[in-house]
Amino acid sequence: MTTINKDAKIYVAGHRGMVGAAVVDELHARGYSNIVTRTSGKLDLREQDAVHAFVGNERPDAVVIAAACVGGILANDTYPYQFLYDNVMIEANLIDAAHRNDVPSLVFLGSSCIYPKFAPQPMKEEYLLTGELEPTNQWYAIAKITGVKLVEALRKQYQRQYVSLMPTNLYGPRDNFDLQTSHVLPAMIRKFHEALPDKPVTLWGTGSPRREFLHVTDAARAVVFALENKFDYTLYNVGTGTDITIKELALLVQSVTGHTGEIQWDSSKPDGTPRKLMDVSRLHKAGWKHIIELEKGIQQTYTWFVKNADSIKEVRIEA
């Protein structure tokens, strides 16, 4: 059932980020043209008064929260305060402003890494808050869990049809390829590319953890799907439902880039959660499924990376 018109005013927060930009592209592709955006320079979402004034003036029909302070293990470890404070402020301000201004539709983005470190696999939505968090990203996780709970509380208390999506690891165009702050897949792409054709490449950890990867265009399709449909639940996992080891991923990225050198594993670096695989049956039942398979997605991302190597984004966390 479509719950939103093509002329609906949709505010995409974080439109210059990997996910936000893909959401804007997907909305345009599906015929939505009334899309509102603001850069963080124009609207700092940590500022409550500014956010309330903006949402009150614009009165959007829908809000997509793809703005966040995002990064890998090292970035979380280096900037714990920003990962907790910035994310709590961004989501609390936007969710509350949407509610107070009676915005009918809101999609909040959580992340698979906020589930407990040792959650049974594959992870179901109801496993949230059932065990210890992965210590390296607890700051980000606590902030994101707060956002999920704000959305849940609004549905329970005010019957708001707001939804949280929990994407697995995303990759694709406009990803963060900065080795200080990036996630595993873009970091591999950059390392293999820079070591071409046969210099050795050192990767973090043992290579044994298992991970699931979803192309960002598929994640954007899930966001638009959530805007267009009425959901029974407040929380939905978004993924492919299949995982591979980091070693297998490395071999895939190596073959896509054409690198032929040795891969060395630095086991002094942390592995993170041993396995992270989403149970995506809830979203499948609602009618959504991913389209882009991993190898094809990596090829497309590598082509994008090579084309944009000179302008790839660097760390932007303000400490």
Which range of residues in 14-22, 92-100, 265-273, 288-296 is near ligand NAP by CB under 6 A?
Answer: 14-22
Question: x-or-dash pattern for ligand NAP, window 82-121, by CB under 6 A?
Answer: ----x---x------------------x-x----------
CB 273 within 8 A of CB 132: no
Concerning whether 85 is annotated as a catalytic residue, the answer is no
Which residues, in sequence order, are bridge partners of residue 210? 245, 275
- Candidates 12, 69, 128, 143; binder of ligand NAP (CB under 6 A) is 69
Dihedral in degrees, nearest 10, Cα atoms 141, 142, 145, 146: -150
Cβ 218 to ligand NAP shortest distance, Å = 12
Report in angstroms how near the CB of residue 90 gets to ligand NAP at its nearest: 6
**Binding segment (CB under 6 A) for ligand NAP, from list 152-160, 163-171, 201-209, 222-230:** 163-171
| Binding-site member from 3, 34, 40, 242 for ligand NAP (CB under 6 A) | 40
SS3 36: strand
Q: How far is CA 9 from CA 31, 45, 51, 234, 263, in A?
A: 12, 19, 17, 22, 49
Phi, psi of 65 (to 5 degrees): -95, 90
DSSP 132-161: PPPGGGHHHHHHHHHHHHHHHHHHHHH---
Burial 194-208 (b: 16+ CB within 10 A, else e): ebeeeeebebbbebe
170 binds ligand NAP (CB under 6 A): yes
Q: How far is the CB of 237 from ligand NAP (least distance, A)?
A: 11
8 A C-beta contact, residue 117 and residue 133: yes
Q: Which of 10, 20, 145, 148 binds ligand NAP (CB under 6 A)?
A: 20
Q: How many residues bind ligand NAP (CB under 6 A)?
A: 24
Provide the binding-site residues for ligand NAP, judged by CB under 6 A: 14, 16-20, 39-40, 44-46, 66-70, 86, 90, 109, 111, 167, 169-170, 183
Residues annotated as catalytic are 140
